[in-house]
Structure 1
Amino acid sequence: MNQKALRTLEYDKIIAQLVEYASCESGKELCRKLVPSIDYDEIVTAQRETTDAVTRVRQKGGISFGGVKDIRASLKRLEVGSSLGIVELLSISTLLTTAARAKSFGRHEDSELPEDSLEQLFAVLEPLTPVNTEIKRCILSEEEVSDDASPGLHHVRRSMKNIHDKIHTQMNSILNSNRTYLQDAVITMRDGRYCLPVKSEHKSNVPGMVHDQSATGSTLFIEPMAILKLNNDLRALEIQEQKEIEMVLADLSNQLVPYQDELLADFQVLTKLDFIFAKAALSRHYQASEPRFNKKGVIHIKDGRHPLLDPSKVVPITVHLGREFDLLVVTGPNTGGKTVSLKTVGLFTLIGQAGLHIPAFDGSELSVFDEVFADIGDEQSIEQSLSTFSAHMTNIVQILGQADSRSLCLFDELGAGTDPTEGAALAIAILSFLHNMKCRTMATTHYSELKVFALTTPGVENACCEFNVETLQPTYRLLIGVPGKSNAFAISSKLGLPDYIIEDAKTHLEAKDETFEDLLTHLEQNRVTIEKERIQIESYKMEVEQLKARLTQKEERLDERRDKMIHDAREEAQRILRDAKDTADQTIRQINKLASESGVGKELEAERARIRGKLKEVDSSLSLKNQAKEPQKSIDPKKLKLGDGVRVLSMNLNGTVSSLPGPKGDLYVQMGILRSLVNISDLELLNEQSVSGPTLGNGNGRKKTGSGSSSTRMSKSLSISPEVNLIGMTTDEAIPELDKYLDDAYLAHLPQVRVVHGRGTGALKNAVHKHLKKLKYVKDFRLGVFGEGDSGVTIVTFK
């Protein structure tokens, strides 16, 4: 990619911003060297890496690579067998710590997430935790090695501490006994040895070795003879300490030797990751998106914002090139945004091919170009004696010599700087040449001849930057398919130029020019009118959609109200019939007690069956209505459990699951005294278990659903449960419930039932047994055995 276009389109400014987002120096260097690629696969890969980094940052937050140091020189030293210094070892430790942090960041917490393009990079990292831990244990800072780095170092430093203590003890004793001879009552260091500041006239009173004197000569720094040997011993230990430190560093260096390849790979991968996440940070800063790339020369930028303009003021532009036309001529007044549009297309192409996201709406499309050429701005040169026109033409000649069908050419004010007639002719000839070369080209101009050329040439299209003549302000909107006006007369009039001068200027226009300008004015007026009508039509469409939605909701509410009224009426009828049946049941029980051996009981039972039939009809009608309102939900065989309440749709009966589904989905359902084999597709789970099935274990794991209001939702004689659950009730609550249940079970001809009362204190069990002894239709009863619920249930057998 030619450097001139990179400078002209301000690509370097984008790179400068990218560099700021990199954490380590090696990552910044990669950012500085980033140039647009012309390899399609390489571009797509780079874009995917940027997108995946943006996704990771959005999911997990940012990650810093500031601990990445350039360790390549240190690795060279290891290669030749040299020992590393403290700073070098700390740099490697910091690198390994960053690698460990990055590897942790790279792991997916959700294993079901698909792998992205960064997965392999994170997998390559080797934190070398044992070696890094050893370095951290031995080296505390750039100036300090730990006492525990080696046994020898620990011993030497302990000896040094003992000698330090002896020296301080002796020095303090000498200082106190010779205070009158000292300049100051302090202990000082000279050349690493402990000294006292002695007045020069008292030199003979403090025997020892003179190491230094003050600038005036009034103070001598004397090492007392009494601690001379201790200082010598200390000096020897310091030399020994240094040797021990060198041995520690050599040992740490030797531990790193086998991992030179891993260390180099860590450095390179972390540098690349820093570079990729810098691109992601820049993308988030610009609120950018990944563009799609093609090899067909097609550009379609949706709501693109030039990244170097103020985000609060920049107006997004939408521009396309390369499908219906490959040459776009942009016209309009100065300061209208033509050059910005030109630079936006060029800069987006460059940064997109460099693997950076573009600040545009998602789904924008760019093409891979081998070269991007730009002739933008005034390149007048006094040194080279070039006028504006000459400078532009020199650049254009170079472009024409290199451009081909895989090039993008951008021209600002093509043909300007010379006679308008000749300039327009040259511009048309240049654009025709590039058009014939199938080169994707975008050019700005003021020439009317170029507007006509775009209108009359296939594959060439006009565009303009919208301008509001009333406010003298550009809107910066790019309108493709509409040629623009220069609006010179209108702008001049608004700025106060007298009308007579403007009218005189119009007389100097050729008739064809004036007619063409009038045509453009007419087109612009029509465009504005159509745009207003389009907006109005869109508003009407939205209003119609809203009215339609409200009408549909109103109809649905009416249907719901109607259905609810019918449903309430059916429920009321069911309730009345149920009350009547309960009354009849009570009466039958009383009569049965008085005339159990007569034929009256059979007649009453027949009458009761007739009432039951009516109730069934109401139940059936209500259940069908409910089914019409709520579609059947399929049952997952894996989630079905023994004892689950279900409705058998073909029979319209409730029951409980008494066996699990087989391979074909068949299972047994207990419906009162009826046990039937049905298919799981003919079942519907009940929201609330109204029928109790056999309990498992001790019977304490079930909800209290075997009796009460939920079990009266269907006819007792048709679906009476084989058990009643009294757990949680008081004695006063349980006995009436038990009595009612046993009557229903007896009338339903169940041979035996289970009464679940639990263990507890035994009060509820005793009350149940006491009540059972009073009932004439109870043959006998007993406590449950193992597998039936043990002493928590009572098995009742009827006569």
Structure 2
Amino acid sequence: MNEKSLRVLEYDKIKEKVKMFTNTGAAKHLIDELRPYTNIYEVKEHLQETKEAFTLLIKKGTPPFEGIYDVRDGISMAQKGSVLMPGQLLKIAQMLRCARRFKKYIEHKDEEESYKVMEDICIGILPLKNIEDEIFNAIIGEEEISDRASSKLSSIRRSLKDKNGSIKNKVNSMVRSYSSYLQEHLYTIRGDRYVLPVKAEHKGQVPGLVHDQSSSGATLFIEPMGLVNLNNEIKELTLKEKAEIEKILAKLSSKIYESITAVKNNANIIWELDFIFAKAKFASEYNCICPMVSEEGVVDIIQGRHPLINPDVVIPNDIYLGREFTSLVITGPNTGGKTVTLKTVGLLELMGLSGLMIPAKERSTIGFFNEVFADIGDEQSIEQSLSTFSSHMTNIVDIIEKADENSLVLFDELGAGTDPTEGAALAVAILEELRNRKSKIAATTHYSELKGYALKTNDVENASVEFDVETLSPTYKLLIGIPGKSNAFEISKRLGLPEYIISRSKESIAKDTLEFEDLIQSLQEKSIKAERYARESETLKLDAGKLKQKYEEKLYRLEKSRDKVLIEAQRDAKRFIKEAKEESDEILKNIRELERKGYSTDVRQKLEEERKKLKNKIDSVEEKIDDTSDEGQKIQTVEEGQEVYVPSLNQKVIVLSKPDNKGEVQVQAGIMKVSVKIKDLRKVEGNKQDKKVAKAKKKREAKLRLASVPNSVDLRGMDSIEAVFTVDKYLDDAYVAGHSQVTIIHGKGTGVLRSAITDMLKKHTHVKNYRLGNFGEGGSGVTVAELK
């Protein structure tokens, strides 16, 4: 991608904004190196990774970057075999811990949405928990080694502690003994050795080694001879401690060196993840969406917003080209928003091609281009003696040399800076040349000749920025399909120019030109109305479709509930009968036991008769229950070769034999031959059975659809009416699917969407309570609802 276009479209400013969301210098470096990708596969892949990171931020909160540092210098030193400092080792361990936690962060259940690209990135992470644990066990802080680092270090420090205790006791005793010779009644330390501050005139009274004296010379710092051996022992232990610490650091550094390939790989993946999540956080902050990418160079940006303009004042616009037309000629007054429109198209294209989500509505499309050329702004140079026209033309010559069918070309005020007649003719010729090369073009102009060129040329369309004559101010709305009207007479009249001057001006203009201007105004008014009606019609159509779908699903849930109640009732009835049968058998068993102990044979016969009656009654009830659950009409007699239906198998079978003495027949069920009781067979009713099978299939599909209901719904880009209907339907699905808590993503914006959703949640039957998202959940850009 050419550097001039990146500079003119302020691409680097976007990268600076993304940098604000990184945690490490390495990720900032990756952003510095970021350029639009030159392969459509890479574009889609990097957009998908940003989208997945955005989803993870919403669903799982802040990624595990706690305590992460840029450890490239430490890894580089370890790779050379150097011994690392405690702080460097600690930061590498924190990086390794972060990498290991990321593998858990992206885990998901089988029924949950997967994160394919992120999983592919994290699959390269090799957990090194043993190295982590050794470093964290050995190092407490930037300059502090733990006693647990080694048993030898622990022993040395215990001895050092004991020696320090002993020498403190002894030096305190000496302070008391030599108190009359001391400048102050305390001891001090010079060069790691305990000394006494002795008055210079009494130095002979305190035998020992002089280590220092005060600036005035009045005080000598003497190490008494009784402390020399203890001080030597402490110094020796201190040296041993230092040597042991160096040995520990060398051992830990060698562990890093032995696994340097895995450590470097984990670090590189963490830098990349930091970079990816910075893109996702940027998307969350600026209310962005993931655009589709057209290989044919189709641009269709829905309600696109320039990301560098204050979100409170920016006017969103629909901008499209590449389908019905490949060139767009934009006209309109100065300060009307023409240049901003060009920059919006160019910048959103560059962002999308770089794997960044764009501030627009869902279903927006960017085209895949190898080059985006932009001739915007005045770059005249005094040193090079280039005028405005010359600087533009120098740039245009370069564009014409390089542009092809895979290029998007943006011209601001094409042909300006020279004679209007010649400039307009030159502009038409340039547009025609690039159109013949099949480049996609968007150009702004003031020339009426270009309006006529767009009206009569295939693949070229007029557009204009709207101007409110009543308020004498632009609305910054782009109207595609309508050429701009200058409005010079209306503006002059509003500003107080006398009517006779305006009339005289009109007389000097050809009648055809005035009629053309009036026609433009008429078309503009009709286009605005038509666009408004089309938008309202589309909204109503979508609302009607959603209402239909909503009530169809409610009807399905009612039918499902009814079937579920019947099945539960049958199951309960069978359970009760089973319990009753078991209880009756137990009673009869007890009666037989009593009979064995003295009842007569007649009594036994009567008991058996009663038992038989009880069994027959239970069997009769069971048959009635089975009848309610069986499908189709029972069969009394069957013939070989007859097609029948077996509810227990849920399929049609062919009878292979006559009933045997047990009342069973052999049937062919697919490749199997099974024996079935004749009472379990049902007549085949083709149409009815097909309907039932189709109905069962439909139920299974609906069940699967409900099982896949996500934990969140994204409303960004919708108006309040569409959003309310979407949330209402989603809450029904989430409630039926059994979700206890859901996340509603509405973005920050102006707060209108959030307010509409809040009002709806107050009255919704499925909602128990709701709140705005916490830090890490999306903040005020999401609402978390708890379902009943």
Q: TM-score, normalised by structure 2?
A: 0.69
Match of 2:117, SS?
A: coil
Match of 2:259, SS?
A: helix
Alpha carbons of 1:528 and 1:355: their partners in 2 closer, same or farther (altered >3 Å)?
Answer: closer
Distance 1:321 1:496 in 2: 40
Match of 1:475, SS?
A: strand
1:23–1:64 Cα contact (<8 Å) kept: no
Match of 2:169, SS?
A: helix
Match of 2:302, SS?
A: strand
The residue aligned with 1:145 is 145
1:24–1:66 Cα contact (<8 Å) kept: no
Distance 2:81 2:375 in 1: 57
The residue aligned with 2:89 is 89
1:288–1:360 Cα contact (<8 Å) kept: yes
The residue aligned with 2:313 is 313
The residue aligned with 2:504 is 504
Q: Which stretch shows the higher mean deviation, 528-537 or 178-187?
A: 528-537
Per-residue deviation, 1:496:
2.9
The residue aligned with 1:745 is none
Matches within 5 A, 1:280-429: 280-429=280-429
Distance 2:540 2:522 in 1: 27
Q: Which stretch shows the higher mean deviation, 262-271 or 216-225?
A: 216-225
Per-residue deviation, 1:665:
9.1
> One-letter code of the match for 1:395?
N
Alpha carbons of 1:511 and 1:649: their partners in 2 closer, same or farther (altered >3 Å)?
Answer: closer
1:40–1:368 Cα contact (<8 Å) kept: yes
Task: String of CA shifts for 1:261-316, please: whole Å, max 9, x gaps.
Answer: 11111011111111111111111122211112122121111111111112122221
Task: String of CA shifts for 1:320-345, please: whole Å, max 9, x gaps.
Answer: 11122111100111222111111111
Q: Which stretch shows the higher mean deviation, 333-342 or 376-385?
A: 376-385
Task: String of CA shifts for 1:619-675, please: whole Å, max 9, x gaps.
Answer: xxxxxxxxxxxxxxxxxxxxx9998894557689xxxxxx99468699x9xxxxxx9
The residue aligned with 1:22 is 22
> One-letter code of the match for 1:521?
Q
Distance 2:525 2:390 in 1: 39
The residue aligned with 2:441 is 441
Match of 2:409, SS?
A: strand
2:64–2:105 Cα contact (<8 Å) kept: no
> One-letter code of the match for 2:391?
A
1:121–1:269 Cα contact (<8 Å) kept: yes
Q: Which stretch shows the higher mean deviation, 34-43 or 55-64?
A: 55-64
Per-residue deviation, 1:400:
1.7
> One-letter code of the match for 1:404?
D
Match of 1:415, SS?
A: coil
The residue aligned with 2:680 is 677
1:18–1:278 Cα contact (<8 Å) kept: yes
Match of 1:198, SS?
A: strand
Task: String of CA shifts for 1:747-772, please: whole Å, max 9, x gaps.
Answer: xxxxxxxxxxxxxxxxxxxxxxxxxx
Alpha carbons of 1:681 and 1:16: their partners in 2 closer, same or farther (altered >3 Å)?
Answer: farther
1:24–1:65 Cα contact (<8 Å) kept: no
State whether structure 2 residue 99 is matched by structure 1 residue 99: yes
5+ residue gaps, structure 1, are 557-639, 653-658, 669-674, 685-799
State whether structure 2 residue 205 is matched by structure 1 residue 186: no
The residue aligned with 1:161 is 161
The residue aligned with 1:491 is 491
> One-letter code of the match for 1:464?
S
Match of 1:290, SS?
A: coil
2:106–2:115 Cα contact (<8 Å) kept: no
Distance 2:62 2:114 in 1: 20
Alpha carbons of 1:641 and 1:374: their partners in 2 closer, same or farther (altered >3 Å)?
Answer: farther
Distance 2:472 2:200 in 1: 91
Alpha carbons of 1:468 and 1:79: their partners in 2 closer, same or farther (altered >3 Å)?
Answer: closer
> One-letter code of the match for 1:397?
V
1:337–1:476 Cα contact (<8 Å) kept: yes
Distance 1:536 1:128 in 2: 59
Alpha carbons of 1:131 and 1:645: their partners in 2 closer, same or farther (altered >3 Å)?
Answer: farther
Alpha carbons of 1:401 and 1:204: their partners in 2 closer, same or farther (altered >3 Å)?
Answer: same
The residue aligned with 2:196 is 196
> One-letter code of the match for 2:680?
L
1:99–1:270 Cα contact (<8 Å) kept: yes
> One-letter code of the match for 2:494?
K
1:212–1:222 Cα contact (<8 Å) kept: yes
The residue aligned with 1:231 is 231
The residue aligned with 2:640 is none
Match of 2:212, SS?
A: strand
Matches within 5 A, 1:35-114: 35-65=35-65, 67-110=67-110, 113-114=113-114
Per-residue deviation, 1:506:
2.9
Distance 1:288 1:255 in 2: 44
Distance 2:385 2:299 in 1: 38
Root-mean-square deviation (Å): 3.4
Matches within 5 A, 1:318-717: 318-528=318-528, 530=530, 646=628, 661=648, 677=680
Distance 1:235 1:355 in 2: 60
2:37–2:353 Cα contact (<8 Å) kept: yes
Per-residue deviation, 1:676:
5.0
Task: String of CA shifts for 1:465-488, please: whole Å, max 9, x gaps.
Answer: 111111222222211111011212
Q: Which has the higher contact order (CA 8 A, sep 6+)?
A: 2
Distance 2:322 2:60 in 1: 40
Distance 2:91 2:541 in 1: 66
State whether structure 2 residue 134 is matched by structure 1 residue 124: no
The residue aligned with 2:6 is 6
Distance 1:409 1:403 in 2: 8
> One-letter code of the match for 1:677?
D
Match of 2:108, SS?
A: coil
Percent identical pairs in the alignment equals 46
State whether structure 2 residue 261 is matched by structure 1 residue 258: no
> One-letter code of the match for 1:182?
L
Distance 2:540 2:245 in 1: 85
Alpha carbons of 1:541 and 1:158: their partners in 2 closer, same or farther (altered >3 Å)?
Answer: closer
1:642–1:660 Cα contact (<8 Å) kept: no
The residue aligned with 2:617 is none
Match of 1:293, SS?
A: strand
The residue aligned with 1:592 is none
> One-letter code of the match for 2:466?
E
The residue aligned with 1:614 is none
Distance 1:645 1:196 in 2: 107
Distance 2:138 2:624 in 1: 65
Distance 1:128 1:451 in 2: 67
Alpha carbons of 1:537 and 1:76: their partners in 2 closer, same or farther (altered >3 Å)?
Answer: closer
Match of 1:118, SS?
A: helix
2:631–2:682 Cα contact (<8 Å) kept: no
Distance 1:227 1:539 in 2: 93
Q: How many residues align?
A: 585
The residue aligned with 1:747 is none
Alpha carbons of 1:642 and 1:154: their partners in 2 closer, same or farther (altered >3 Å)?
Answer: farther
Match of 1:384, SS?
A: coil
Per-residue deviation, 1:397:
1.8
> One-letter code of the match for 1:161?
K
Per-residue deviation, 1:115:
5.0
1:451–1:483 Cα contact (<8 Å) kept: yes
The residue aligned with 2:222 is 222
Distance 1:121 1:535 in 2: 42
Distance 1:151 1:448 in 2: 89
2:299–2:320 Cα contact (<8 Å) kept: yes
Per-residue deviation, 1:110:
4.2
Task: String of CA shifts for 1:57-108, please: whole Å, max 9, x gaps.
Answer: 2221121436444445544544454433322221221111111221221221
Task: String of CA shifts for 1:691-728, please: whole Å, max 9, x gaps.
Answer: xxxxxxxxxxxxxxxxxxxxxxxxxxxxxxxxxxxxxx
Alpha carbons of 1:273 and 1:681: their partners in 2 closer, same or farther (altered >3 Å)?
Answer: farther
Match of 1:124, SS?
A: coil
